[in-house]
Amino acid sequence: QVTLKESGPVLVKPTETLTLTCTVSGFSLNNPKLGVSWIRQPPGKALQWLAHIFSNDEKSYSASLKTRLRISRDTSKSQVVLTMTNTDPLDAGTYYCARVQRGGFPVVNYFDLWGQGTVVTVSP
């Protein structure tokens, strides 16, 4: 059974660093056809892609958040970690990790499995 599960703090203070962990099971982070993305959703708003990482350690970040994000993976623990520095109340919302099917043109990078999400509040 393939699963992804997010974990991290429920509450962080503004300017603090947020660290979220995605623990995967049922597939390998070394699979060249797969990757893991982080996607967030502010309350009542649309999905916003944040970052992804692939088996060759290729990483990409949302342009608007690039300076504040870092994604990494620990294959021994089957975990993908996202850190976000200098948090702001606007960073509050539900954070999802999702498995990426890398594919090839024209079917590229879609999210076939999602975690349940973890809710983050940013407040003093």
The residue with tokens 């660290």 is: 19
Any idea what DSSP says for residue 65? Answer: G
Q: How many helices (H) and strands (E) does the chain have?
A: 0, 11
Verify binding: residue 108, other proteins, rule CB under 8 A.
yes
Point out which residues pair with 104 in neighbouring strands.
Answer: 107
Task: Select the residue interacting with other proteins from 11, 31, 47, 121 (CB under 8 A).
Answer: 47
| Cα separation, 50 vs 39, whole angstroms | 5
Task: Select the residue interacting with other proteins from 56, 107, 123, 124 (CB under 8 A).
Answer: 107
Task: Select the residue interacting with other proteins from 51, 82, 92, 122 (CB under 8 A).
Answer: 51
Task: Select the residue interacting with other proteins from 15, 31, 116, 121 (CB under 8 A).
Answer: 116
| Cα separation, 75 vs 110, whole angstroms | 21
Q: Could you give the maximum distance between any two Cα atoms of the chain, in Å? A: 46
Which of 8-16, 20-28, 62-70, 84-92 is the region at the interface with other proteins (rule: CB under 8 A)? Answer: 62-70
Q: Hey, is 2 helix, strand or coil? A: coil
Task: Tell me the closest approach of the beta carbon of residue 76 to other proteins, in angstroms.
Answer: 26
Task: Tell me the closest approach of the beta carbon of residue 8 to other proteins, in angstroms.
Answer: 16
**CB closer to other proteins out of 19 and 109:** 109
**CB closer to other proteins out of 43 and 124:** 43
